[in-house]
Amino acid sequence: MALFQRLNSKSIPIINSGFGSNATSNGKRFLNKDGNARVKRLGLSFFESKSWYHTLLDLPSWKFLGLLLLFYMGINFVFACLYFAIGIEHLNGIATTQSRWEQFGQAYFFSAQTFTTVGYGHISPVGFLTSSLSAAEALIGLLSFAIATGLFFGRFSKPKIYLKFSDNVIIAPYQNGTALMFRLAPYKNTNYLDTEVNVTLGLSIEENGVLTNKFYTLDLEISKVNTLMLSWTIVHPITEKSPLYQFTEQDFQNVQGEILVFVKTFDDMYSTTVATRTSYVFSELVFGAKFTPIFESSDKHQYTLIHLDALSDYKKI
């Protein structure tokens, strides 16, 4: 209760945060480290709750390529079974003296040739039913490759923000007091303009005997930069106006809190605005630390070198 009274006396909480105020109904944290919300939507069927286009665009590359391979192998297996069920004698060019496994293998590769419209020609359908099936397979193959091509282009051309965040947020000395800090940096050969950062503090505190979510906007030393080429240390000075004012190391250990980070910037290559988000829970906060420098000049002082592998490095003070 004392903590709640201290917060109420200094800071005005956000009323419409989008995360809800009931602390007993949410999970351990609001956002994952990758920025995805820790939300599972119930009450709909599996297919109703999925946007397959978004799902396929967001899949990791190895899963996406694996899914395409499984689809390609699976659909050819299905058509090979159908050809085999109609009768192998309706596929001209497959010897009836071969074993059943060899005949099925020949039917499978004929299906692959038809599906991809390669058509080497040494096997051809005979009869109306087999010809109709191969025609339908060729149409499905054309449509499937059109969809796969669109997905490949969508994944390749989708605007994406390439920012790395420090693993931890720290409480460091700042001017005559302390400040909450974390670092971010672009890690690709991209150019970001008008980069803006918003930081929100979420706390689960007891109010009148009920555990409640409270959200506060954290004022930043600098919230917007014209261009982002090097690393950027985000600083929230902990002054009397800060909801973290007078927080001790023990408070950070005892209170359930999360620091929500939202970044928006303009990518001049895509000529569009891109955004990302992440979060830090209080267990990822280091009290009494300082980030170590990650810049140095090249030997001939022609370049500024930034060591991105040291972005999260800090030392205790």
Helices (H) and strands (E) in the chain, counts: 6, 16
pLDDT of residue 299: 77
Q: Which CATH number fits domain 52-157: 2.60.40.10, 1.10.287.70, 3.30.413.10, 2.70.150.10?
A: 1.10.287.70
As a whole number of Å, the CA-based R_g of the chain is 29
> Could you give the residue range(s) of every CATH 1.10.287.70 domain in the chain?
52-157
Count Cβ atoms below 10 Å from residue 290 Cβ, excluding itself: 16
233 Cα distance to chain centroid: 22
DSSP H or E segment with residue 203: strand 192-207
Mind listing the pLDDT tens digit for each residue in 80-105?
Answer: 999 999 988 898 888 877 888 999 99
| Spatial distance between the Cα atoms of 101 and 125, rounded to a whole number of angstroms | 19
Low-confidence residues of the chain: pLDDT under 70: 1-13, 15-17, 20-27
> Could you give the residue range(s) of every CATH 2.60.40.1400 domain in the chain?
3-39+161-316
pLDDT of residue 7: 60
User: Do residues 213 and 189 make contact, with C-beta atoms less than 8 angstroms apart?
Assistant: no
DSSP 264: E
pLDDT of residue 48: 79
Mind listing the pLDDT tens digit for each residue in 189-215?
Answer: 888 999 999 999 988 877 777 778 888
| Spatial distance between the Cα atoms of 243 and 219, rounded to a whole number of angstroms | 10
Instruction: Retrieve residue 6's tokens.
Output: 């201290």
| Spatial distance between the Cα atoms of 222 and 287, rounded to a whole number of angstroms | 22
| Spatial distance between the Cα atoms of 292 and 170, rounded to a whole number of angstroms | 12
pLDDT of residue 224: 95
Give me the architecture of the 3-39+161-316 domain, per CATH: Sandwich (2.60)
| Spatial distance between the Cα atoms of 9 and 13, rounded to a whole number of angstroms | 11
| Spatial distance between the Cα atoms of 157 and 149, rounded to a whole number of angstroms | 12
- Give the start-end residues of each E strand in 208-271: 210-217, 224-228, 232-237, 256-267
Spell out the residues 6+ positions from residue 114 whose beta carbon is closer than 8 angstroms to its own.
79, 134, 137, 138, 141
